[in-house]
A and B are shown apart, each in its own frame.
Chain A
């Protein structure tokens, strides 16, 4: 049985396509016409950007909800 993993994302994620480790970078995030920069891990090769669950269901969700109620 697999349990839903809720631990922090493990370090050292690799981009499967480019075989490169992810590196911190600035990415534009947008919702409902609002745009702002966020620091995220991304592939230096193809730009694939990783959003860990803690962020998606934490800060990101909070911002989404605040923007929805604006």
Chain B
């Protein structure tokens, strides 16, 4: 994985961005966290969270001008959360903020603060807590004199007293009734001699007298840098109402004190004043919230507006907070949900997994559990595709030889079977020397419904002039998903050489994964979907076999193939079949087979299928054999589009999943039957296959363990020819074992009339002896 690419992916997941309320708050109070505590009725913890950011919680809790509320996303579903009233409920619940605690700092500096308003006191609190010596000069007889002019109904004097009490026992020295004429010789210049830094919180009035001492703005106020709160004097910082004039904003004054303190601290340490300040102050939030998911809820109205929310009312109001999260992808993807986090975190973990030097690679299975279906990108406001991330990580794993062999081994052996002589077949139509088109049914349709391959081929031959070739094989998708570039290249080259030999005809695919593989990776091959071709050449005659409505599941590989989706719907119309959409083709899901997820993580793949099949009670209609069979495997009635094209008696929606053993057998049989029926070649059935008797329960168990009947046969034949087996004297069962390449199979069986009854099977990869 390329580090730059990883950072780009990470930065696109905005789930960790601050919610709108917090972003709009000048000092970024964690309202979402407060709401979550309040909805649980934990006022104490909510108050503590508030007081962690706000040095004067009792005051701000009463008079904050709450810019957060107009940003609150709840306004799109009812009304904005009354954040300010909730803060008030928190501070009214009777918890006093603890006194400020002073850090013992080695290099203590001396700071002068002129003006004991909110911004000046905030500087005193912030720098006092850091252990500096702070001297606060105030001309009036008390601190926060301006706040004392508030109506006590709005801001009780006790709240001011409570917050000022936090300074008890700190080293902050309050020099009240001490007016400093900053312009005089004993003024700023003298302070600058005695102190390492100075903060001026001079209130709203212009300061013409300071002209010549400090730079002024055009309106006569101090010129103050909006980012650093610096003035023209390197030791002097300023803020508060001096920046805002008449429009008083307590929270802005507090913010100015906070960020001016940060600058002073940096100045004292010789650090950059401007670096890393881009999240400072109120700003829009990048966090996406799909508010349409939420039903509107009206604001809670306090029974006594003067006293504000009762605790019960506060809890009800806080419960209206969504709380804001994106997680759009996590909500639609059981894989992303399964691992308990979200893409930004996963991407970091995946990258760490790749770059780890020592210790276990903990996210291997996570990486291999993604179906590569593309749904996350379709719902993500930033188009982040976790499939790309996981596939890239898989490429890194195979390149380093760190791909766990067990994850994809079975699927790759199945691929090898489909590419072997047992299945591969490439022919012109009987009686033709050339092909105008080439039918490519794909390995899974042949595995699931060989008769549909035969019927489709016959229909294409009957309706298309100039020769319809046939090519049985596998497009190599499993190799691509497993990040086995070597096998994928082999598969592509094998296909391409047959295709060239047959005269480079247009390829007609019945499988949407094959379609994707050809369009994405073999652009030189002209390819059409069987569904578009059927729409053009017409359906064979045949009555509609069903009256009931079907729900359409588009295979995930057709997510962006609008032409194919349209053809499928028109074919349904032609067959007179009523169909409903699930979430529409653009938001379709995987059946669990994609990306080989069902082999690396069957539990996650089952969750994906189960969620999909729970969406609608109607029988599902799909046009991928793998999707249909996975639905059937999990107990959902489902048909393949070809079941409507070539209706037969019986109930195709009740057809069980053939399972892995049958899939291979079907492929082999299809080839032999086609050769025999169409090309009139004699084909030998595989010789001397021993006959197995496998109960449904044992069969299901073997399927789950990915043990094929052929593996069972090989093991028994090995035991019977070599005599190497065990006997369990009580039951008379034989126990045989055989190592085929990288897996040792164990089969317990008995023999009945020359046939082999299978009692159980299991395997391991570890080698003995």
Q: Which residues of A contact B (CB under 8 A)?
A: 1-6, 9-10, 12-17, 22, 27-32, 38, 40, 46-51, 53, 56-57, 60-61, 63-66, 68-70
Contacts and interface: CB of A to CB of B under 8 A. Distances in A.
Contacts of B701: 4
A53 B768 contact: no
Contact of A51 (B729, B734, B764): B764
A48 B724 contact: yes
Nearest to B360: A69
Max chain B C-beta neighbours (<10 A), residue from A9, A49, A51:
A51
Given A3-B697, A48-B724, A66 B360 contact: yes
B728 A64 contact: no
What 8 A-B pairs come out closest when comparing CB atoms?
Answer: A68-B404, A4-B701, A56-B764, A31-B766, A1-B695, A53-B762, A4-B760, A17-B723
Contacts of B235: none
Interface in B701-735: 701, 723-731, 734-735
Contact of B730 (A4, A10, A51): A10
A51 B697 contact: no
Contacts of A50: 726, 735
Contacts of B735: 13, 50
Max chain A C-beta neighbours (<10 A), residue from B362, B728, B729, B768:
B768
A49 B696 CA distance: 30
A30 B766 CA distance: 6
A29 B766 contact: yes
A5 B6 CA distance: 48
Contacts of B768: 27-29, 38, 40, 49, 51
B748 A5 contact: yes
Interface in B747-769: 748, 757-760, 762-769
Contacts of B723: 16-17
Given A2-B757, A13-B728, A69-B360, A29 B762 contact: no
A60 B769 contact: no
Given A29-B768, A56-B764, A69-B364, A4 B698 contact: yes
B698 A3 contact: yes
A2 B724 contact: no
B405 interface: yes
A19 to B, nearest CB: 9
Given A48-B724, A68-B404, A10 B731 contact: yes
B70 to A, nearest CB: 50
Nearest to A54: B762
Nearest to A70: B360
Contacts of A53: 746, 760, 762
A4 B759 contact: yes
Max chain A C-beta neighbours (<10 A), residue from B361, B364, B764:
B764
A69 B361 contact: yes
B712 to A, nearest CB: 13
A49 B769 CA distance: 8
A46 B724 contact: yes
B740 to A, nearest CB: 15
Contacts of B405: 32, 68
Contact of B724 (A10, A17, A38, A64): A17
29 contacts: A1-B696, A2-B695, A3-B698, A4-B701, A4-B759, A4-B760, A10-B730, A12-B728, A12-B729, A13-B727, A13-B729, A14-B727, A16-B726, A16-B727, A17-B723, A17-B725, A22-B726, A29-B767, A31-B767, A32-B405, A50-B726, A51-B737, A51-B764, A53-B746, A56-B764, A60-B766, A63-B766, A68-B404, A70-B360
A60 B726 contact: no
B280 interface: no
A64 B361 contact: no
Contact of A64 (B748, B757, B765, B769): B765
A22 to B, nearest CB: 7
Nearest to A64: B765
A1 to B, nearest CB: 5
Contacts of B696: 1
B744 interface: yes
B406 interface: yes
Contact of A14 (B695, B697, B726, B765): B726
Contacts of B360: 66, 69-70
B767 A64 contact: no
A2 B696 CA distance: 9
Interface in B335-358: none
A17 B735 CA distance: 12
B95 to A, nearest CB: 48
